Amino acid sequence: METTQLLREYDIRPSFTRVSIYEYLKSHRVHPSAEDIHRALSPTIPTLSRTTVYNTLHLLVQKQLVTTLDVEEEQQRYDIPDHPHAHFKCRKCKAVYDLEDVHPSNIPQDKLNGFRVEEAKLVYYGLCPDCQQTA
């Protein structure tokens, strides 16, 4: 779908900046930080400020077009929650991988007694295949 239209559906005015940031996230599935995004888009949008990147990301998160990662890191990282998946963070090389088809989808509702779940984040920590070799 057109990003412009998608944003409109979520009640976000599709300014050039916002569209650019959303599309950057969509086409760079490496969970970039605000700083990464700013650095990447600065050549294209020379006036882009960090403040605007933060503003836009907050807005996108609030409207649920984007989520945060929360993976033992100082800098927050962002992701588009297209399809349910978990993350794996290597404690040696610090890379964050997507684990497709792994997700706490069917939680026994009786276990959640009364809590209404809107979102679930599952993160595994350990050693990625590469780092197991050099360990």
Partner DNA sequence: TTGTCTGCAAAACATTTGCATACTG
Partner DNA sequence: CAGTATGCAAATGTTTTGCAGACAA
Backbone angles phi, psi at 46, to 5 degrees: -60, -25
Q: How many residues of this chain bind a copy of itself (CB under 8 A)? A: 31
Q: Is 2 in the site for DNA (CB under 7 A)?
A: no
Choose the one of DNA, a copy of itself, none that binds residue 35, judging by a C-beta under 5 to 8 angstroms depending on kind: DNA
Q: How far apart are CA 9 and CA 3, in angstroms?
A: 10
Which of 43, 83, 111, 134: binder of a copy of itself (CB under 8 A)?
111
Region near a copy of itself per CB under 8 A, out of 18-26, 34-42, 51-59, 108-116: 108-116
Q: How buried is 121 (Cβ within 10 angstroms: 0-12 exposed, 13-18 middle, 19+ buried)?
A: middle
